[in-house]
Amino acid sequence: MAQEMEDPQELWAQCLLNIERQVRPQSFTNWFKQTSVSHFDQDLLVIQVPSAFSAAWIEEHYLQMIQSVVWEETALTPNIKFVVAQAPQSIGHQVPPVEQGEGDSARDEQEVIEAAPVQSLNKRYTFDEFIIGDSNRFAHATALAVANSPGKTEFNPLVIYGGVGLGKTHLLQAIGHHAYNHNLAEKIVYVPSEKFMRDFVQSLQDRNSIGEFQSFYRSADILLVDDIQFLIRGEQTQNEFFHTFNALHQSEKQIVMTCDSPPGHLDGLGDRLKSRFIWGLATAIDAPELETRIAILHKKAERNGIRISDDVAALLGNHIRSNVRELEGTLISLMAYCSIHKKELDLEAAQHIIQEQGPSPSEVSIEAIQQHVADHFNLTREQLVGKGRQRDVVTARHIAMFLIRTLIEGSHFTTIGLHFGNRDHSTVIHAVNTVGERYQNDPSFARLVEDLSNTIRRQSR
């Protein structure tokens, strides 16, 4: 999708938003906030940094991440160079200001409320880009049926459930794209359930905005709710969702949801909602079989204008079995490696990447991190997530939250709070920032955190 080149600063600002999601707030402030670019095309990206030291540091610690981010955002794999900017005080003004810790929630806030219908959808998540195999054939077919006749099929609501990284969000958003592109619905709202909850809570806090909240969600022609397992947190939110659901369903508007398990198995979800969810259809996505994994690899490579041989696809497809997101990540690393080192993208390069590849962060579970940190501090996991305020318990708890945030891609403050006895997301933000600051200033503490992080990653292999 290497369309005509956009403004380099714009492209970079877009990449920075993505980078901000991947690194700690403090690191973002230290290393990225002051960057700008002087050149950005398919061959070369020149990043301006304030000092030679930061150039060296960023290159050593963040080069690979920058490559994948650039690829994700622009589908380009340019060579990346760092240069020291001439006038450091004048650079960086194009970069959006960073609100520490709150960065991502502030950003999603804008996504849905202000966005025109489908702007909050990821452009890549369309039916065209989705590879069909036995593991997802039925889910795909029902999603397509719903996208073609929103609100008019028996599949209302449609619930798509399955494990992490298997394409649930992709299919959910594909419904939105399809209906929008074929003029089958005017107002399409995509919302992760955590955001639904945040918006709702916010609307209760800002006087008079509950009406706005309700009319926004209840006027959707298609409501796409991602990861409803997180709805279980609040009774009031569930209640509000129940009414939103009824209002939409009664007026034959389409509701589609994703979930990490069959909705009937969700402990903590009220019976009223459960009974609604089985009015329509629940359909599973399973881990893709080898042929599908190989087809996905070919497709993703093709999108980037390259072709990979069958033996390379088979090697990667055999190596990563259970998660499509990781399969994609490995292919990106491989492309970046070959482009930087000017190597052929062949079996040898693929073998190299597989050997080099550390354990994949997304295989680490929240529970595993909690257990590991608890063990290290001689606590039980119950103590770690409990209410105890003794100093070492609090330190351990903060470190665990920090590690979850840094090791598990896409982990939200709200989600983390849920796993620590329903703590509020602001508590988690505070904990993560506290650890981040101490990490910068206290070398022995930094070593402890790094050691824990490394062992967790090794064990999750």
Which x/- pattern over 294-333 shows residues binding ligand ADP (rule: CB under 6 A)? Answer: --x---------------------------xx--x-----
User: The dihedral of CA 206, 207, 210, 212: what is its sign?
Assistant: negative
Binding partner at 49 among Mg ion, ligand ADP, none, C-beta below 5 to 8 Å by kind: none
Report in angstroms how near the CB of residue 147 gets to ligand ADP at its nearest.
15
Residue 170 touches ligand ADP, criterion: CB under 6 A = yes
**Do residues 13 and 94 touch, judged by C-beta distance below 8 A?**
yes
> Could you give phi then psi for residue 152, rounded to 5 degrees?
-110, -5
Subset of residues 253 to 312 that bind Mg ion, contact rule: CB under 5 A: none
Rounded Cα–Cα distance for residues 289 and 301 (Å): 19
By CB under 6 A, the residues from 96 to 135 that bind ligand ADP are: 124-125, 129-131
Identity of the residue, 291 or 382, whose beta carbon is nearer to ligand ADP in the bound complex = 291
| Residue number with CB closer to Mg ion (59 or 409) | 409
What DSSP letter does each residue of 229-265 carry, written as one string? GGGGG-HHHHHHHHHHHHHHHHTT-EEEEEESS-GGG
Q: Which does 192 bind (CB under 5 to 8 A by kind): ligand ADP, Mg ion, none?
A: none
DSSP state of 102: T
Of 43, 270, 285, 29, which is closest to residue 165 (Cα–Cα)?
A: 285
Task: Using CB positions, name the residue nearest to Mg ion.
Answer: 169
- Integer CA distances (angstroms), 435 to 67, 384, 399, in order: 27, 16, 6
457 binds, among ligand ADP, Mg ion, none (CB under 5 to 8 A by kind): none
CB-closest chain residue to ligand ADP? 167
Residue type, 206: D
130 binds, among Mg ion, ligand ADP, none (CB under 5 to 8 A by kind): ligand ADP
Note whether 228 and 259 are within 8 A (CB). yes
Residue 406 sits in the site that holds Mg ion (CB under 5 A): no
Residue 169 in contact with ligand ADP, rule: CB under 6 A:
yes
CB of 164 to Mg ion, least distance (A): 8
Count interface residues toward ligand ADP (CB under 6 A). Answer: 17
Binders of ligand ADP in range 134-153 (CB under 6 A): 136
Cα atoms in the 13 Å half-sphere on the side-chain side of 269: 21
* Contact window for Mg ion (CB under 5 A) among 16-24, 166-174, 375-383, 386-394: 166-174
Residue 296 interaction partner, one of ligand ADP, Mg ion, none, beta carbon < 5-8 Å per kind: ligand ADP
Binding of ligand ADP by 192 (CB under 6 A): no
* Contact residue for ligand ADP among 168, 178, 405, 423 (CB under 6 A): 168
166 binds ligand ADP per the rule CB under 6 A: yes
For residues 172 and 285, what is the distance between their CA atoms, to the nearest angstrom?
12
Cis peptide before 443 (omega within 30 of 0): no
In this chain, which stretch among 160-168, 241-249, 364-372, 446-454 interacts with ligand ADP, using CB under 6 A?
A: 160-168
Q: Considering only residues 169, 238, 360, 460, which one is a binding residue for Mg ion as defined by CB under 5 A?
A: 169
Is position 418 an interface residue for ligand ADP (rule: CB under 6 A)? Answer: no
- Span of 76-84, 113-121, 164-172, 323-331 interacting with Mg ion by CB under 5 A: 164-172
**Residues in Cβ contact with 75 at an 8 Å cutoff, skipping those fewer than 6 apart:** 1, 2, 303, 304
What own/partner pairs with CB < 8 Å and gap ≥ 24 does 458-461 have? 458/359, 459/359, 459/368, 459/372, 460/359, 460/360, 460/361, 460/363, 460/364, 460/368, 461/359
Pick between residue 120 and residue 169 the one whose CB is nearest to Mg ion: 169
Closest approach, Cβ 158 to ligand ADP, in A, equals: 15
Minimum Å gap between C-beta 360 and ligand ADP is 13
**Nearer to ligand ADP by C-beta: 121 or 374?**
121
Nearest to 38 by CA among 97, 77, 89, 94: 94
Q: Where are the beta strands (DSSP E) in 199-325?
A: 222-226, 254-259, 281-284
Pick between residue 22 and residue 94 the one whose CB is nearest to Mg ion: 22
Nearer to ligand ADP, 296 or 312 (CB): 296
Backbone angles phi, psi at 59, to 5 degrees: -60, -45
C-beta atoms surrounding 203 within 10 Å: 18
Output 178 or 325, the one with its CB closest to ligand ADP: 325
Which residues have C-beta within 8 Å of that of residue 195, sequence separation ≥ 6? 108, 109, 112
Min dist CB 83 to ligand ADP, Å, is 32
Site of interaction with ligand ADP (CB under 6 A): 124-125, 129-131, 136, 164-170, 296, 324-325, 328
Site of interaction with Mg ion (CB under 5 A): 169
